[in-house]
Amino acid sequence: MKRFNKKIQSILESFNALNGTKWVGIKKYVSVKSGEVANFVVNANFNYGNAVKTSVEILETLTAPDFSAIADRYKVVNHEGEKYGSNAPAREYLATGKIPKEGTKARIKCLEGVHETKTIATIVAEMIAQFKANQDEETRSAQSIAQREKYDHVAKSVKQHKETKRLHIWAMANWKEVLEEGEYSDSTMGIEASQKNAIERYCKEVLNKQLPTTKYRNFVVEDNQLSEVAISGETFTFVD
């Protein structure tokens, strides 16, 4: 195991001593993005493969009536073949017919942003296929591989970013208590992101079967972002 300061080393040793999935408390975690402060109870040392398997099983139960219900309830697209732009150059091209000169980076960016709408059924099928592909080392996506290669695993449920050297606890969030509300931006989701979000919400809110993979969280182990980590009967305090 790599050497860290005594407190961090003790935390890593506690994680490595976990036998099976265990509850871990994370206290007063600050979201850098929103400023929200919250307490969490998470499951550490979980089997992500099982989470993927269960998520696939839930998605495979969805049928045509569910697809229609998802579209109606969350007001998302459920038809195919309509072109849309996911970036400004693509949207301008579709609106005006004007396209940047051939062979330029601007043209490539423009065309990369042109997509066609898909049905909810297609999006569900793609989610299932992506889950299954990323479980298999031979078919794992380049994006998934690149993401994995950014980190070194230094203990059970703890990884370190190779460039920033920050430690991250990765676990399944099961309970959350918001202590201070943050400032949440009204970011506009793309069409496919909205469809995926609607599918996940439907499984949780209507079927009462939340996809386990949507519970996955990363917590940065730094004193400006958390105050305590409670694990296996021990509490490690970062802020006085």
Q: Is residue 88 part of a domain?
A: no
Q: Is residue 110 part of a domain?
A: no
Mapped to the 3 state alphabet, what secondary structure does the chain carry? Answer: CCCCCHHHHHHHHHHHCCCCCEEEEEEEEECCCCCCEEEEEEEECCCHHHHHHHHHHHHCCCCHHHHHHHHHHHCCCCCCCCEEECCHHHHHHHHHCCCCCCCCHHHHHHHHCEEECCCHHHHHHHHHHHHHHHHCCCCCCHHHHHHHCCEEEEECCEEEECCCCCEEEEEEEEEEEEEECCCCCCCCCCHHHHHHHHHHHHHHHCCCCCCHHHHEEEEECCCCCCCEEEECCEEEECCC
pLDDT in tens, the chain (240 residues): 455 578 888 889 999 998 888 999 999 999 988 899 999 999 998 888 899 999 999 999 999 999 999 999 999 999 999 999 999 999 999 999 999 999 999 999 999 999 999 999 999 999 999 998 877 655 555 666 666 788 998 899 999 999 988 899 999 998 999 999 988 766 678 999 999 999 999 999 999 999 999 999 999 988 888 889 999 888 988 865
Q: What is the pLDDT of residue 1?
A: 45
Q: Is residue 95 part of a domain?
A: no
Say which residue the tokens 């999006």 belong to: 123
Q: Is residue 89 part of a domain?
A: no
Q: What does pTM read for this prediction?
A: 0.81
Q: Which domain holds residue 19?
A: 6-82+117-237
Q: Is residue 98 part of a domain?
A: no
* Residue 194 buriedness (CB in 10 A; 0-12 / 13-18 / 19+): middle
pLDDT in tens, 197-208: 999 999 999 999
Please give the tally of structural domains in the chain: 1
Our CA angle for 90, 91, 93, nearest 5°, is 65
Q: What is the pLDDT of residue 143?
A: 61
Q: What is the pLDDT of residue 238?
A: 81
Q: Is residue 104 part of a domain?
A: no
* Contact call for residues 231 and 157 (beta carbons, < 8 A): no
Spatial neighbors of 138 by CB under 8 A, at least 6 apart, are: none
Q: Is residue 14 part of a domain?
A: yes
Q: What is the pLDDT of residue 21?
A: 87
Q: Is residue 72 part of a domain?
A: yes
